[in-house]
Structure 1
C-alpha cells in the first residue's frame, strides 16, 4: 500500500505544481467535501493526477492560495467524474479548467448501465475500486491513510478511463456530441439563489396556517445562521423533522419546547433560547407568508388533460417518440433532451410549430445543436399527429 501525504503548505504546493507542469497529457482532478457534516460546500481535499508526474493530494484550507496549481495545469484538459458536482468547489478555489472531459457524462452518452466512478473504471479498465469512504467527513484532520488511498484512486485511473471512453465515443460517432455536452457543462452558470429557501424544510407540507409558516421561516433562518456561523450542516444541529415537530406541537412556553421529546438534535437544548426566540419572532411577525406560492414551473403532466388538452395530446405523442430516438442512440432520454425542455415546448409551442421554429425555441431554452438535430423533426411530427387526434373526435361527432 502506498503511503500518501497531504500537501498543506506553500513550499509543497510549488514543488507539486512544478511536477504537474512537467507531466504529460490531460489532468485528472477530483474534490472531496464534507457534505452532511459542514455547512459549506468548500473543498477539503483536492486530488490531482497527471502522467509522468503522479498523484498529489492538496489541503486547500491549510494552503489557502492555490494559484501555483492553476498556473501549472490551467492550460490543460481536466478530466473529472460528474464535473457538475466538483466545478463549483473548484471555482471557489479559483481553480478553473479551460476544457473538461467528464467520464460520468461520457458513460451516460454511451449508454453504460452504471455510471458511478467505480462502475466506469471497472467497465473500461477491469479494475475494481473500493468506495467505502465516499461519505466520510473530509474536514477531519489528520486524514486517515485508508481515506487518502481511496482519494488517490479516485484520480489515478481517471486518465486511462478517459482514453477508453474517448475511443468508445469515436467508435459510436458521438465525439462531437460529447464535446458539446462537456462545453455546456463547463459554461453552465451557477443555480440562482432560491426565493424563500425555508420552504425546502422537509415535512413542511404537514403544517397548516400562515402564522405557522411565519414561525417555520424564523426557525429555519435561525438554524441557518447558526449553522453558517459554526460551519456545521444544519441538519446536524436540529433535524428538519424536529423543527416540524415543534411547529406542529405549537408550544406555549420555552419549557414546553424543552419538554417536547421529538425536538431533538445536538443543539436542540444547548441553544434552546435561540429556537424559542425564533418562535416568538414568528408569532409576532406581521408579514405572514402564503402557504402556497405560485411558481413559474408548469403544472404536472397528469393535470394537462384538464388544463391544456392540446398540450396533453402533444406531449403524449412527443414523449414516446423522443424516447424511441434515445433508445436508438443508446443513451438515456434525459441526455437526448431534458424532460423539462420537452414539457415546455409541448405546453406552449411556437406558431407555426415547424422543426425550425421548435429548434429556435429549444435553443433559446439551452438545448445544444446536436440535440436539436436529433429531436426537432421528431417533435414537429409528433405535434402534427396530435392535431389528427384532436380532429378525429370532431369528425366522429359529425
Structure 2
C-alpha cells in the first residue's frame, strides 16, 4: 500500500481508502524502496510480532511511513533480505513508539538505525500521565485509536483488512506525533536529556543469555527437592525443543503450572500423569510420550541441580532492614531524594534513575562517599550523563547524612 494520506480519522474510518496490500515479493519491495528513497524527513517504523502464539520473536509485519512516499506494509518472512531498504533509511531519523520493543526484531532482518526518536519515551520524559500510543495520540493529536488488534496473531496469512488498517495507522500518525512530543520536550528544557535517552535505547546491549532459563518457571518456589528440580528441568527442555520445532509459544503447548505440578508429583506412569489436574495445555495429551520421557530422564538424572544457585543479585529490599540495616537506611534516604526530584522535573522516578541501579549503589556504596565517586558508580551501572548530573550529589549527600547519623547514635550509646 502506498499513498500520501498520513491519516486523520479513527481506525474504524476506512472510507475513501483503497484496500491495503501487504508487500510480499521482491519486485514490489524494490519498488517500495525506491519510493521511500524519494520521500523526505523522518521515517516512521513499527513492527508486529506474534508473541504468545509463536516461539520466535521475529517480525511478521513491518510498517513504514515517510512524507512524500506514503505507507508501506512489508511481509518480512516473504521478503527475507531488507538490505536495500536498510541502505536507504539507515542514516535517517527513525520514529518509533516504545522502540525497545521493536528494535530487536528489526535488527533480525538487517534494519539498524543510527538515530531514533521514541515517542513513547519522549512523552514519558515530557511528563504526560499516559504514554501508550492511543493515549498520546488522543492527547496531542485529538485522534482516538482503537487497540483491538494489539495482541493478534500477526503470523496469520492472509492478514484481515481491519488488522492492516490498524497497523497502517500506527505509523501514519507517528511523524505528526513526533513533532508534538518534540515541542513539549523543547518547551520543558528536556531536549538534550531526551536525546541521551533515545541513544541509550538504540545502543542498549541485548540481555545476556540466562544459563539456566528453566529456573524462571512460574511457581518454582513450590519445588523443594533436587529431584523435582531435575524433572522440571527435563520437562522445560522437552517443551522448549518441541516449541522451537513447530514454532509455537511454549506456554500454549504446556503451561508452566503443568510442569511444576508434574515435577512436584513425580508421576511414574501415563495414568498417574494424566490424573494431575493441572497438567493441561494444547499438547499435554497429544505429546504424552514426550513428557513421560522427559520425566523419566529427570528421575534418572545424576547431575541433580541445587535448590539455589549463587548469583550477583542483591537481596530484595524488603529484607534489608534485617540483613543490612545501614544499606536499608541509605536506600530509604536516597529514594526520598530521587522521588522529590522526580516530582520537581515531572519525569517518572524510574526514568530519573532505575531503581535497580539505586539499590546496587545503596547496598555497596563507593568509598569514600563523594559526589564524584557516586557519579562514577552510576556511570558504571549505565546511567546517562544527565542522570548523573541530576542525582549524584543528592545520593551522596543522603548517604553521608545517614552514615553520620549512625556514627552519632553509636557514640551516644557508648
* TM norm. shorter chain > 0.5: yes
What's the CA shift string for 1:313-337, capped at 9, x where partnerless? 2112111001101111101111011
Q: Distance in 2 between matches of 1:397 and 1:271?
A: 68
Separation in structure 2 between the aligned mates of residue 303 and residue 266 of structure 1, nearest angstrom: 40
Instruction: Say yes or no: does 1:236 pair with 2:252.
Output: yes
2:410 to 380, 394, 397: 394
CA separation in 1, counterparts of 2:413 and 2:239? 62
Aligned to 1:308, which of 310, 324, 349? 324
Give the one of 117, 121, 127 matched to 2:143. 127
8 Å CA contact 1:313–1:389 kept in 2: the answer is: no
- SS for the counterpart of 1:166 is helix
| 1:100 and 2:116 are equivalent in the alignment | yes
CA apart distance, 1:170: 0.5
2:336 is the counterpart of 1:336: no
C-alpha distance in structure 1 between counterparts of 2:264 and 2:373, whole Å: 51
Q: In structure 2, what is the equivalent of residue 210 of structure 1?
A: 226
Which 10-residue stretch deviates more, 150-159 or 381-390? 381-390
Separation in 1, partners of 2:244, 2:379 = 39
- What CA deviation, in whole Å up to 9, does each residue of 1:323-361 have, x standing for no partner? 101111101111011111111111111111110111111
Once the two structures are TM-superposed, the CA of residue 123 in structure 1 deviates from its matched residue by: 1.3
Q: How many Å separate the matches in 2 of 1:370 and 1:160? A: 27
2:8 aligned partner: none
Counterpart check, 1:57 vs 2:73: yes
The answer as to whether partners of 2:219 and 2:257 remain within 8 angstroms in 1 is: yes
Residue in structure 1 matched with residue 389 of structure 2 by the alignment = 373
Which secondary structure state, in structure 1, belongs to the residue aligned with residue 122 of structure 2?
Answer: helix
Report 1:157-168 matches (<5 A): 157-168=173-184
Say if 2:81 is the partner of 1:81.
Answer: no
Deviation at 1:397, TM superposition (A): 2.6
- Which of 69, 88, 91 is the equivalent residue of 1:72? 88
Check if 1:268 corresponds to 2:263. Answer: no
The residue number in structure 2 matching 1:324 is 340
Whole-Å separation in 2 of the counterparts to 1:200 and 1:121? 36
Tell me the residue number matched to 1:9: 25
How far did 1:258 drift? 2.9
TM-score, normalised to structure 1, is 0.98
Give the aligned CA root-mean-square deviation in angstroms: 1.1
Q: Which residue of 2 aligns with 1:34?
A: 50
Question: Is 1:360 aligned to 2:379, yes or no?
Answer: no
Structure 2 distance, partners of 1:310, 1:261, is 48
* Aligned partners of 2:266 and 2:295 also within 8 Å: no
How far did residue 67 of structure 1 move?
A: 1.4
Tell whether the 8 Å contact from 2:268 to 2:296 is kept in structure 1 after alignment.
Answer: no
Given that 1:28 and 1:48 are in contact with CA atoms closer than 8 Å, whether structure 2 keeps it comes out as yes
**For the Cα contact (< 8 Å) 2:54–2:247, is it kept in 1?**
yes
Distance in 1 between residues matched to 2:270 and 2:380, nearest whole Å: 53
Deviation string for 1:57-85 (max 9, x for gaps)?
A: 00000111111211221220000111111
Q: Deviations over 1:214-240 (max 9, x none)?
A: 000000000000000000001111111
Unmatched 5+ stretches in structure 1: none
Q: Which residue does 2:4 correspond to in 1? A: none
Structure 1 residue ranges (4+ consecutive) displaced by more than 4 angstroms after TM superposition: none
Gaps of 5+ in 2: 1-13
Cα deviation for residue 260 of structure 1 reads 3.1
1:395 Cα deviation (Å)? 4.3
Q: Which residue of 1 aligns with 2:5?
A: none
| Aligned mates of 2:348, 2:109 — CA distance in 1 | 33
TM-score, length basis structure 2: 0.94
Q: For 2:66, what is the secondary structure of its paired residue?
A: strand
**Which of the numbers 100, 106, 115 marks the counterpart of 2:131?**
115
